[in-house]
Amino acid sequence: MTEFYTVRVHHRQTGTNFSFRVPSDRYILHSGEQQGVELPFSCRNGACTTCAVKVLSGDLYQPEAVGLSPDLQRQGYALLCVSYARSDLEVETQDEDEVYELQFGRFFGKGKVTRGLPLDED
């Protein structure tokens, strides 16, 4: 039996708030789009961070969110393109670069990438 839930979104980039209903067996992003809601997205496969949100309240299920580490998921981040609502939700859109930095920043904050040559060689 399909349950229906209300998703409340605070869209940080536009300063707007809106809500829409989603069935428990459909992706949140897809359900919102079918109702005319414009949310950020890119790959639609759970591999990037464009549609990332911070879950403020409620529960969701995102088994295909490969672009979001388990640690960030435990901290309350989710990818709407591959998330299913499991209760009424309140979420806040995130800046893609901010989430990307949380996800991968430890790898890119180490300085210039070289081609395997010591830094003092020309």
Quick one: CA torsion of 17, 20, 26, 30, rounded to 10 degrees? -60
Structure tokens at 52: 């990332």
Task: Sort residue 58 into left (φ over 0), alpha (ψ -120 to 50) or beta.
Answer: left
Average pLDDT, the chain: 88
Number of structural domains the chain divides into? 1
pLDDT tens for residues 34-79? 999 999 999 999 988 899 999 999 999 999 999 899 999 999 999 9
- CATH assignment at residue 72: 3.10.20.30
Calpha distance 63→33 (Å, rounded): 21
**pLDDT score of 35:** 95
Identify each DSSP E strand in the chain by its residue range. 4-11, 16-23, 52-57, 60-61, 77-79, 84-85, 89-93
41 part of a folded domain:
yes
**pLDDT score of 118:** 58
Nearest to 49 by CA among 72, 26, 18, 23: 72
Mean local confidence (pLDDT), 7-16: 94
71 part of a folded domain:
yes
**pLDDT score of 92:** 97
96 part of a folded domain:
yes
- Look up the domain containing 46 and give its range: 4-101
**pLDDT score of 119:** 56
Quick one: CA torsion of 88, 94, 99, 100, rounded to 10 degrees? 120
